[in-house]
Amino acid sequence: MGLERLCACVAVFALAALLLPSRAAHAEGEVAKLQAELAATRSDLADTRSALARTQALVEDLARKVDDFGTRGQTADAERVPPADETARLPPVNVDNPSISFVVDGKARSNTQGDDGVGFLLGSAELFLSAPIDPYLRGYASINGTTEESFDVEEAALVTTALPLNLTVKGGRFFADVGRFPHWHDEALPFVERPQSLDRIIGGESGAEGVEVSWLAPIDQYFELTTGVYNSVGELPDDLASLVGQPSYSELTYLVHPNTYIDITDTLSVEIGGTYFAVPTETRRRLAGFDVTLRHQPGTSAFYQGTVVGSEWYWNDQEFLDAGGGSSRFHRNGGYAYFESFFGRRFSGGILFDHAEEIAGATARQNAYSGFVSWMPSEFQRVRVQVDEIDQTGANDQRFWLQWTAFIGSHSHGFSTR
Amino acid sequence: MAFRLASAALSIAVMALLSTAASASLRVVATTPDVADMARQIGGDRVLVTTIAEGSQDPHKVPVKPSFVTKLNRADALVVQGLGLEHAFLPALLEAARNPRIAPGAPAYIDSSLYVEALEVPTSTNRSQGELHPLGNPHFNMDPVQGKRMARAIAEGLERIDPDGAAAYRDGLARFTAVLDERIPGWLALAAPLRGVKAVSYHQDLSYFANRFGLVLDGTIETKPGVPATPKHLEDLVAQMKRDEVRLVIREVAYEMPLAETVAKKTGARVATVATLTGGLPGADTYVAFVEANLRAVLAAASPAGSE
């Protein structure tokens, strides 16, 4: 039995020894196969995880965009994604329509002398339109009506915007570049009324039809030179007949106006200009003048906010037709000086002195002394009171003014009314 | 003699030409001290920056000086803060400057608001709502995170007009951004006590600052944006501050102090003075110093023992 068992065991071991190599080889194959399958599964799992991560990121990104869309403008944490070709964020402009604004300037007046008496005036109802026309040109128009005059086109002009050599050309009907206030619109003045000296010598605003060329010197110092040619400058009283404005080159009005500006300190500056215009034929009209503006602009938050001191003076030499067909020449002068200080964010006040002479006929000298206070409830409306003491031939006059001005829309006559 | 004079004149002309070539920096005009500082830090020696507004000024009331016209006339680039902040002075200056290169929309018109997501974009604009900015609140410079976006737009703008300096501008941007990245976490930690603190400002210009540092704005001293306070509005504001337990009045340096003090006195609040532009507070002449100075001023007034 023992021997038989021993023999059987030996036989089994021998058989096992014969069979083992092939089974081991088979097992190794199985392991390798399983390992390959495991690696493939792991790879698939990694791919799946990666795809899932991408999907999750995409979902999160979409969710964020949806949130951003829903709360656009309400959170500063989201970064704006500008369109690829955008270089600046500009306000939307309706390219088919110009900028439109309207000024309502109402006045109440009381005189102690003269025929004016007490009453209300529409000082100005001005519709102002402006827009770029193309890359090289802009246009603007000002249509104004008052109590004394019906609606009229005060200005309708084209202005170049892209000429070389710092040149700008303006053409049409506009306020010629005379001094400072002559080319300002009434509602932009610091006083209720345009100084009488400018009304008499210039003829109100320096309204003209013609063409102007201005040049800005390409240097650090501000220097601008304007030259112009016009039919005439300003308006004459109805009872005067002028010899200017005849259809001949030599009877047009030619103007030159240099202007410079100096920063005296960081807060104090002065602007100086000179004006000369003339009609060449027999020098039928020649006008010379200067303007000086001193500004103190401390830029502080204190109650005192700054002061402007300004003056203009003009000498006019002009020939007028007589009733009898002849002509007479008159040399007259006039001008004003004023200062205005600004207080808080909405008050200003100042005084004005004005010396005026009639442009023709009797001189009728008039000296006016005015005090004015302005209150601006907001940037878009202004209430002003002014008292005038008028020293003139005959009885002196005292005038009291209340002016209420409001601006509908974005109303600005630009750099020229700085 | 004539020959010597001619030689001297020629020498001077050549030297002038050479000096011009040697100092061929971009002439950059910046509308505010904030974008000026960023342009300097990003552009380094490649830019020569001049600024229009001063830090203590109300940006809505910057004077239109002719001396700015000559700077703009000769500028190679104009950097604006944007979103209409400069609407009160820039259009008139650009009209007179005769420089189409820096006209709005031109390549050298660099708008720092390009990447800023604007707050308070009005859904309708009419003047009864005050002086609203149609593109949204333009005082984003008070938030340093927006400052990074401003810098990016400025760097890209400079690169656009001076491609040769692209590497320098990118390096400058990276340096500027790194400084802000380093400082912002510290500022946020510093501002932790401000979270949930209610405040009233003078003008509606603290929205981005409040959004970043956790302040809760509860009204303005102005009746509406750009519209001065009326007695009735102040009466209502004081009642509202008492009801809402507002203990902080933030007065921007460009606005008058007495009114802010009056409101504070009536409500038991303290007044903090901040600047809306770099350089508005003493010693805060860089953008980073400006953000820090504002934050510390508000913290000082908001803390229990704080005082102006």
pLDDT at A116: 67
Which pLDDT tens digit goes with each residue over A368-395? 999 999 999 888 899 999 999 998 877 7
What distance in Å separates residue A403's CA from the closest CA in chain B? 20
What distance in Å separates residue B40's CA from the closest CA in chain A? 20
| Integer Cα distance of B21 and B74 in angstroms | 16
Q: Does the domain made of A102-417 have the CATH classification 2.40.160.10?
A: yes
pLDDT band at A23 (very low <50, low <70, confident <90, very high): low
CATH number of B192-302: 3.40.50.1980
Other Cβ atoms less than 10 A from the Cβ of A258: the count is 15
Chain B residues with CB-CB distance to A167 below 8 A: 98
A332-341: burial string, b at 16+ Cβ within 10 Å, e else: bbbbbbbbbe
For residue A102, give every residue at least 6 positions away whose Cβ sits within 8 Å of its Cβ, in sequence order, or none: A125, A126, A127, A128, A407, A408, A409, A411
Residue at A204: amino acid letter: G
The answer to whether B135 and B122 have CB atoms below 8 angstroms apart is: no
Please count the residue pairs, one from chain A and one from chain B, whose beta carbons lie less than 8 angstroms apart: 154
SS3 state at A44: helix
Strand order of the β-sheet with B26-30 is: B47-51, B26-30, B77-80, B109-111
Q: Give the global pTM.
A: 0.77
| Integer Cα distance of A37 and B16 in angstroms | 80
Residue at A207: amino acid letter: G
> Which residues numbered 270-299 in B keep a CB inside 8 Å of some CB on A?
none
Q: Does B221 touch chain A (CB under 8 A)?
A: no
pLDDT band at A282 (very low <50, low <70, confident <90, very high): confident
Residue at B42: amino acid letter: I
Q: Which of B127, B158, B208 to mutate to test the interface with A (most CBs of A within 10 A)?
A: B127
Quick check: B111 and A261 CB within 8 A?
Answer: no
Nearest to B226 among A73, A217, A378 (CB): A378
Quick check: A74 and B119 CB within 8 A?
Answer: yes
- Residue by residue, DSSP assigns chain B as -HHHHHHHHHHHHHHHHHHHHHT--EEEEESSHHHHHHHHHHHGGGEEEEESS-TTS-GGG----HHHHHHHHT-SEEEE--TTTTTTTHHHHHHHH--GGGSTTSTTEEETTTT---S---SS--GGG-S--TT----GGGSHHHHHHHHHHHHHHHHHH-GGGHHHHHHHHHHHHHHHHHHHHHHHHHTGGGTT-EEEESSS--HHHHHHHT-EEEEESSSBTTB---HHHHHHHHHHHHHHT--EEEEETTS-HHHHHHHHHHHT-EEEEE-SSTTSSTT--SHHHHHHHHHHHHHHHHSTT---
pLDDT band at A99 (very low <50, low <70, confident <90, very high): confident
Q: Which of A222, A261, A270, A307 to mutate to test the interface with B (most CBs of B within 10 A)?
A: A222
pLDDT band at A166 (very low <50, low <70, confident <90, very high): very high
Chain A residues with CB-CB distance to B160 below 8 A: 87
The number of CA neighbours under 13 Å toward the Cβ of B228 is 16
Residue at A135: amino acid letter: P
**Among A7-21, A114-128, A197-211, B1-15, which stretch is predicted with the lowest mean pLDDT?**
B1-15
Which range among A87-101, A311-325, B44-58 has the greatest average pLDDT? B44-58
Quick check: A414 and B212 CB within 8 A?
Answer: no
pLDDT at A51: 85
A406 → chain B, closest CA residue: B127
Average pLDDT over residues A28-38: 87
> Which residues numbered 69-108 in B keep a CB inside 8 Å of some CB on A?
69-71, 73-74, 80, 82-84, 91-93, 95-98, 100, 103-105, 107
SS3 content of chain A, % helix, strand, coil (to 5): 20, 45, 30
pLDDT at A9: 54
| Integer Cα distance of A262 and A259 in angstroms | 11
Quick check: A344 and B157 CB within 8 A?
Answer: no
Pairing of strands A207-216, B109-111: unpaired
Q: Does B229 touch chain A (CB under 8 A)?
A: no
- Residue by residue, DSSP assigns A123-184 as EEEEEEEEEEEETTEEEEEEEEE-SSS--EEEEEEEEES--STTEEEEEEEEE---TTGGGS
pLDDT band at A243 (very low <50, low <70, confident <90, very high): low
Nearest to A415 among B64, B104, B227 (CB): B64
pLDDT at A310: 95
Three-class SS of B82-121: CCCCCCCCHHHHHHHHCCHHHCCCCCCEEECCCCCCCCCC
Quick check: A82 and B145 CB within 8 A?
Answer: no
pLDDT band at A242 (very low <50, low <70, confident <90, very high): low
Average pLDDT over residues A231-246: 68
What distance in Å separates residue A301's CA from the closest CA in chain B? 5
| Integer Cα distance of B111 and B119 in angstroms | 17
Residues across chain A: 418
Chain A residues with CB-CB distance to B115 below 8 A: 79-80, 82
The answer to whether A190 and A338 have CB atoms below 8 angstroms apart is: yes
* Closest alpha carbon to B153 in B79, B83, B204: B79
Matching residue, tokens 């540092």? B213
Which DSSP state fits A242?
A: B
Cα dist from A87 to A84, A310, B74, B98, whole Å: 8, 42, 21, 20
pLDDT at B302: 86
**Among A94-98, A333-337, B70-74, which stretch is predicted with the lowest mean pLDDT?**
A94-98
Q: Which of B95, B119, B132, B252 to mutate to test the interface with A (most CBs of A within 10 A)?
A: B95
Nearest to A88 among B104, B254, B256 (CB): B104
For residue A242, give every residue at least 6 positions away whose Cβ sits within 8 Å of its Cβ, in sequence order, or none: A232, A236, A285, A318, A320, A321
Q: Where are the domains of chain A?
A: 102-417
For residue A183, give every residue at least 6 positions away whose Cβ sits within 8 Å of its Cβ, in sequence order, or none: A175, A176, A177, A205, A206, A416
* Closest alpha carbon to A209 in A169, A250, A176, A173: A173
Chain B residues with CB-CB distance to A301 below 8 A: 56, 58, 253-257
Chain B residues with CB-CB distance to A415 below 8 A: 64, 69, 92-93, 95-96
pLDDT band at A314 (very low <50, low <70, confident <90, very high): very high
| Integer Cα distance of B210 and B188 in angstroms | 12
Q: Where are the domains of chain B?
A: 25-186, 192-302
Q: Does B66 touch chain A (CB under 8 A)?
A: yes
Residue at B95: amino acid letter: E
Q: What is the mean pLDDT of chain A?
A: 84
Handedness of CA B35, B36, B38, B39 (dihedral sign): positive
The answer to whether B166 and B159 have CB atoms below 8 angstroms apart is: yes
Determine if residue A364 is left, alpha or beta; phi over 0 gives left, psi from -120 to 50 gives alpha, anything else beta: left
| Integer Cα distance of A341 and A372 in angstroms | 11
Quick check: A220 and B70 CB within 8 A?
Answer: yes
**Assigned fold of B25-186:** Rossmann fold (3.40.50)
A352-382: burial string, b at 16+ Cβ within 10 Å, e else: bbbbbbbbbeeeeebebebebebebebbbeb
Pairing of strands A304-321, A285-296: antiparallel
Determine if residue B267 is left, alpha or beta; phi over 0 gives left, psi from -120 to 50 gives alpha, anything else beta: alpha
Tell me the angle at which helices B287-302 and B33-43 cross, rounded to the nearest 10 degrees: 140
Nearest to B114 among A89, A302, A344 (CB): A89
| Residue A1 reports pLDDT greater than 80 | no
| Integer Cα distance of A385 and A383 in angstroms | 7
Quick check: B65 and A261 CB within 8 A?
Answer: yes
The answer to whether B212 and A76 have CB atoms below 8 angstroms apart is: yes
In the numeric block, which tokens belong to residue B114?
A: 């390009």
Which pLDDT tens digit goes with each residue over A49-85? 888 888 887 877 777 665 655 444 445 566 777 776 6
Q: Does B192-302 match B25-186 at the fold level?
A: yes
| Residue A411 reports pLDDT greater than 70 | no
Quick check: B63 and A219 CB within 8 A?
Answer: no
pLDDT tens, N- to C-terminus, chain B (308 residues): 454 545 544 444 444 444 444 455 899 999 999 999 999 999 999 999 999 999 988 887 888 889 999 999 999 999 999 998 998 899 999 989 999 999 998 999 999 999 998 998 887 666 677 777 888 999 999 999 999 999 999 999 999 999 999 999 999 999 999 999 999 999 999 999 999 999 999 998 899 999 999 999 999 998 888 888 888 999 999 999 999 998 999 999 888 888 889 999 999 999 999 999 999 999 899 999 999 999 999 999 988 654 44
| Integer Cα distance of A180 and A67 in angstroms | 55
Quick check: B117 and A80 CB within 8 A?
Answer: yes
| Integer Cα distance of B307 and A311 in angstroms | 48
